[in-house]
């Protein structure tokens, strides 16, 4: 396959090649380019995402040399990108006639099968590739095979494939990057430590192996060792921005919040501003009780991403910790506007309204909560108990009926209705419902004592409860 290093080529010579090819496209006059020149032209266009021009290069190359398996494979790649799967397969069949041992043909076939969710076929073609691949190509096949196993959620098999790839080629960045992810899916941190320690023993400057080693140590809870590994990465390749992020996260876990802030700032700088770490810096300031600084960072995060509801919520939390409930409420509601089915946000708003004694707003949001998750018993109970506590007994009975219809015949609903009927003076109906509740679940009658101890201890209630008590 094409293996020229584009960056090592003479820029003037490349510019001349591009000019000649553009002239050919414009005038459609006869032109000749050797295969190496066409590869350089193709790479020039691909680096600039000029796909139409790139496809024109491939078409020209195949007109000039219809037996080039390399350019047939490149054509198949573009057909795959356009989801023209059968044409891509036909093109690879043709390439196979000219070079049946070209490993990229097998890898691309596997990609086509995988895109069509034909995973058995994708696996089979890669296992076939392993049979014919030279030793220097097998690591790429194992790395591709790991993707198939990952899609199938066979994570241990994926891990084993990557381990095999690295045993064949310890410097394979593709396998190292994939293993950094897959190890978290398997919890095979000890194996990861062993693999990467082995790589580092042979090549102490293998920065990506140091990075994976640090992540494995985190999985094992060995934070000091993880930080040491990350420091080696920074010393070997200071431009690898992800290690600064992970080191900052690690400092946060270690509750070294000042160091975490400093490291997040470096991570932001190293990423060229592509990654915004304001939210994480805000979390550090919040843990240090620097609430004003935390809010500044959270607001900065929301300017970067107006839909970051977590940042609005954290602003609310900092105000709540300062006992400034009204501004807390404003920001909780902003968070809920963005994520309007978030149960935690709704529950938090309800708790603030309760503190502010705003009954109507509490009821409004209790209603929102049960509409969001009508299947959650505890949400209905919160609604019913609040209604009972504020003396809305008829509404309590009505909402309990709704709860029964929408979530099921839980005994608690009938106990609460019985208590509400008693509070309204309808003792006879109350006892009928009490008996029904005791029949469903005797043990839950304790909710009556939580709801209203006086009603629970009424002689009539106690007599019925005693009748249903389990016999020893």
- Shortest CA distance to 268 belongs to which of 259, 280, 284? 280
Tell me, what's the pLDDT at 1?
Answer: 47
Instruction: Read off the tokens for 371.
Output: 């509409």
Task: Give the pLDDT of residue 81.
Answer: 84
Is a pLDDT exceeding 90 seen at residue 250?
A: yes
pLDDT tens profile 273-331: 778 899 999 999 999 999 999 999 999 999 999 999 999 999 999 999 999 999 999 99
- pLDDT tens readout for residues 423-444: 999 999 999 999 999 999 999 9
Structural domains of the chain, with CATH? 187-256 (1.25.40.10)
In the predicted model, is pLDDT for residue 13 greater than 90? no
For the residues 196-219, what does the mean pLDDT come to?
Answer: 97
Give dist(CA 321, CA 286) in Å, integer. Answer: 10
pLDDT, residue 85, reads 87
Q: What is the per-residue pLDDT across 89-118, written as a single tens digit (0 to 9) for each? A: 888 888 888 887 888 899 999 999 999 999
The CA-atom distances, in angstroms, between 22 and each of 19, 45, 285 are 5, 11, 56
pLDDT range class, residue 74, cuts 50, 70, 90: confident
Q: What pLDDT, on the 0 to 100 scale, is given for residue 382?
A: 97
- Reported as a single tens digit per residue, the pLDDT across 53-63 is 888 878 787 87
Does pTM top 0.85 for this prediction?
no
CA Rg value for the chain: 33
Mean pLDDT of 229-241: 95
What distance in Å separates the CA atoms of residue 109 and residue 107, rounded to the nearest whole number? 5
pLDDT for the residue numbered 343: 97
DSSP-assigned states of every residue in 390-412:
TT-HHHHHHHHHHHHHHH---HH
Q: What is the pLDDT of residue 275?
A: 82
Return the minimum-mean-pLDDT range out of 8-17, 201-210, 230-239: 8-17
User: pLDDT at position 30, please?
Assistant: 67
């Amino acid at each position: 396959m094409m293996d020229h290093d584009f960056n090592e080529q003479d820029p003037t010579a490349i510019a001349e090649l591009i000019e000649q090819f553009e002239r050919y496209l414009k005038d459609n006059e006869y032109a000749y380019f050797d295969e190496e020149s066409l590869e350089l032209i193709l790479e020039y266009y691909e680096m600039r995402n000029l796909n139409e021009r790139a496809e024109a290069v491939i078409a020209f190359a195949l007109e000039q040399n219809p037996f080039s398996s390399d350019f047939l494979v490149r054509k198949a790649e573009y057909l795959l990108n356009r989801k023209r799967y059968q044409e891509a397969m036909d093109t690879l069949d043709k390439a196979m006639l000219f070079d049946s041992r070209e490993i990229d043909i097998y890898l691309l076939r596997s990609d086509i099968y995988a895109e069509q969710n034909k995973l058995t076929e994708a696996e089979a073609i890669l296992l076939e590739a392993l049979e014919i691949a030279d030793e220097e190509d097998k690591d790429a096949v194992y790395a591709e095979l790991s993707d198939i196993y990952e899609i199938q959620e066979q994570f241990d098999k994926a891990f084993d494939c990557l381990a095999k790839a690295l045993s064949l080629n310890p410097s394979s960045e593709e396998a190292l990057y994939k293993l950094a992810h897959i190890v978290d899916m398997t919890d095979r941190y000890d194996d990861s430590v062993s693999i990467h320690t082995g790589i580092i023993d042979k090549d102490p400057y293998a920065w990506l192996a140091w990075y994976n080693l640090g992540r494995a140590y985190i999985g094992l809870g060995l934070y000091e060792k993880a930080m040491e590994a990350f420091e080696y990465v920074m010393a070997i390749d200071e431009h690898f921005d992800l290690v600064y992020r992970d080191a900052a996260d690690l400092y946060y876990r270690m509750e070294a919040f000042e160091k975490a802030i400093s490291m997040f700032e470096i991570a932001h700088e190293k990423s060229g501003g592509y990654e915004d770490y304001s939210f994480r810096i805000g979390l550090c300031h919040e843990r240090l009780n620097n609430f004003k600084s935390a809010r500044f960072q959270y607001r900065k995060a929301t300017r970067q991403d107006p839909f970051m509801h977590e940042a609005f919520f954290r602003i609310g939390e900092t105000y709540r910790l300062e006992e400034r409930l009204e501004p807390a409420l404003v920001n909780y509601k902003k968070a809920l506007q963005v994520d309007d089915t978030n149960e935690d946000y709704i529950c938090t708003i309800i708790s603030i309204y309760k503190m502010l004694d705003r009954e109507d707003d509490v009821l409004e949001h209790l209603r929102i909560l049960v509409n969001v998750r009508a299947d959650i018993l505890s949400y209905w109970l919160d609604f019913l108990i609040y209604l009972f506590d504020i003396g809305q007994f008829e509404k309590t009975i009505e909402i309990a009926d709704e709860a029964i219809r929408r979530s099921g015949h839980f005994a608690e609903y009938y106990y609460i209705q019985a208590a509400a009927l008693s509070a309204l003076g309808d003792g006879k109906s109350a006892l009928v419902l009490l008996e029904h509740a005791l029949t469903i679940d005797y043990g839950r009658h304790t909710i009556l004592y939580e709801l209203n101890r006086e009603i629970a201890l009424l002689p009539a209630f106690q007599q019925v409860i005693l009748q249903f008590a389990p016999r020893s």
